[in-house]
Amino acid sequence: MSAKENEESDTNKNIIALRVQEAKKRDIGRNIARIDQETMEVLDIKTGDVIALAGKKESAGIAWPSYPQDSGLGIIRIDSRLKKNTGSSIDETIQIRKVNAQPAQNIVLAPISVKIKSNPRFETFVKRKLHNYPVTIDDFIYISIGISREIMFKVISIRPNGVCIIKPETVLHISEHITEDEEKGADYVTYEDVGGLDREIQRVREMIELPLRHPSLFKRLGIDPPKGVLLRGPPGCGKTLLAKAVANESEAYFISINGPEIMSKFYGESEKKLRNIFTEAEEKSPSIIFIDEIDAIAPKRETVTGEVERRVVAQLLALMDGLHSRGKVIVIGATNR
């Protein structure tokens, strides 16, 4: 075996692939990655060590032992922030390895979609919040301001390269240039933000997330994925929040419209709006079209009396039946009736 092959073999021994699962509530926002004792022993990882996590992107977290019931399952529990930074989702596989994180000498953060007038006092406040926090380039970092406000930043520069830890001596600068989150199709809401709907989340994942993320599975089984899902419940129960969460978790483009907004007094204008929305969704698939108050544009056929409503219902059904990207474009309707 050549020296190069030996080196590759040693490298592979220092990397383990684990399946992503949701973090428990107590671990959310703490940058913790829970792995079982066997994995920690194989990689010579101790509690509190910094580990690199590589999905579609690479980030870093702090290793903690798994819960007893997770032992031997080959899973890693991380929160939505680490999932975003690694470009991974629930049930996907990521690779982990132990890293020797260096103290960060310089780091530059850019606010996401919010203009901030930075000053040394605020930069010191942010640095204290991030004390001993492991970061890599392009990571998204969340800083709580007050009781209910949170600002998201992106790491746009860091020295030295690789995984670093923010220390008191780190020079932290906040750029006044606003950065946009290119991956953000909906407000960054995840399943962790949806409380009390565990059963509904599980069903939505099966009906929406599964075909969006694994269309080949349905094709192999010869099953047509669903074209639409109807969410019914009283105002404020979490229908819109759930739709945004599934869009983010499945990395789908999100289009949100309010039913009454579609209706127009001009002939053919309502149908044109619907056609444009479906065209945009197909062009940017995988995507989710969320229609709030769908009963305003698509009531029961037998209750439709106006000519405009009749045409809109017919157009919506025709567009859903004619979807070329079946499984890649899903319509979620919400109603409180």
- Segments making up each domain of the chain, as ranges: 3-98, 102-174, 191-335
253 in Cβ contact with 284 (< 8 Å):
yes
Residues 90 and 48: beta-carbon distance below 8 Å = no
| pLDDT winner (highest mean) among 7-16, 96-105, 220-229 | 96-105
- Fold observed for domain 191-335: Rossmann fold (3.40.50)
pLDDT at 138: 93
How far the first Cα of the chain sits from its last, in Å, is: 69
- Output the average pLDDT for the chain: 84
pLDDT tens digits, 290-302: 988 888 777 666 6
pLDDT of residue 257: 87
pLDDT (0 to 100) of residue 10:
41
Alpha-carbon distance of 3 to 5, in angstroms, equals 5
* Better-scored residue on pLDDT, 178 or 123: 123
Class level of CATH domain 3-98? mainly beta
* CA distances for 276 relative to 64, 136, 282, angstroms: 48, 40, 10
Name the CATH topology of 102-174.
Answer: Vcp-like ATPase; Chain A, domain 2 (3.10.330)
Average pLDDT in the 18-37 region? Answer: 92
Half-sphere exposure of 269 (CA within 13 A, CB side): 8
Is 98 or 327 the better-scoring residue by pLDDT?
A: 98
Query: Which stretch of DSSP H or E encloses residue 61?
Result: strand 58-65
